[in-house]
Each structure stands twice: as structure tokens, then as C-alpha cells.
Amino acid sequence: MTNTFADVCAELAEIDAGWKAGTLTPVAHGNRREKALCTAIVLVAADFGVQLKPPICIDARGEISVVTETGNYGNAFSALLNTHCRPRTGILPTAIMKEWDSWCRVNHFDVERLVRAYAASLAVEATPQKID
């Protein structure tokens, strides 16, 4: 099954609504959210020409390893990580990703923030601009 970024964003919205309505148990919420976020970060990276190395999951520290399969992040993807996340490459989450970097760990809340910001930027790009 192929997911599009729009499908994954819709799934995240559905998960949020189910959680707020009380129709999802904590375990179901966590499982669905993890799957959606991990799929979303792979799709976002792919939009920037970056292929992430599996497995992509939330580990016991609440982090997702963002490791390239081959190559490096490039300018655009590293800038996106730096703008919306606090990537970690050591003990403290204060790393600044450069174009030549190829791995970091990111907290799942930061990944969600990145995904939502990226979705919003795509929505803005898709909206016709009014020219006066």
C-alpha cells in the first residue's frame, strides 16, 4: 500500500480527533500515531531526495533515528530539520545539521512539528496567490 503525504496528514488529523473524542485507547493512539509519523518523515525526506534507512520507529527515548540510506541530507532537508526540530547527534539535542550530515535522532514531538509545518508549507504553495 502506497501512502501519499496528504493521506498521512489526514491520518494524523483523524488520530488527533479520535484521541480528543475519547474513541481511541492510549495504546491504539500511540501505535497509529507512531506509524503515521514514521511514514510521514520518510515521505518528507523523499521530497528532498533523501532516502531514510529502515527501521523507522520511535525508540524507548521517544526519538526517531533519521539516518540516510546513502549519501547525506543536503541543504534543504538539513535546513528543515534545523528549523523545526532539535536534532541530536550526541548527548544533548543541540546539533546543527549540515548538508553533509547523514544521521541524527529527533524527538517524536519535533517530528510531528516538522510534519505539520511541512504540510502547511505545501498548502500555502498550492493556494493560488492573489495578485493586485
pLDDT for residue 92: 72
How much is the mean pLDDT over the chain?
A: 89
> Is 67 within a domain?
yes
Q: What is the mean pLDDT of residues 24-52?
A: 96
Residue span of the structural domain in which 90 resides: 5-126
pLDDT(95) > 50? yes
pLDDT(24) > 90? yes
What residues does 58 pair with on adjacent strands?
A: 64
As for how many domains the chain has, the answer is 1
Q: Which residue has the higher pLDDT, 110 or 124?
A: 110
Strand-strand pairing, 63-67 and 103-107: antiparallel
> Is 102 within a domain?
yes
What stretches of 48-107 show up as alpha helix (H) in DSSP? 74-84
- Compute φ and ψ for 85, nearest 5 degrees: -135, 170
Instruction: Please tell me the distance from the alpha carbon of residue 50 to that of residue 37, in angstroms, as a whole number.
Output: 16
* Strands annotated E in the chain: 63-67, 103-107
CB 132 within 8 A of CB 18: no
> Is 94 within a domain?
yes
> Is 131 within a domain?
no
pLDDT in tens, 47-79: 999 999 999 999 999 999 999 998 999 999 999
What residues does 105 pair with on adjacent strands?
A: 65, 88
pLDDT for residue 91: 79
pLDDT(128) > 70? no
> Is 97 within a domain?
yes
> Is 132 within a domain?
no
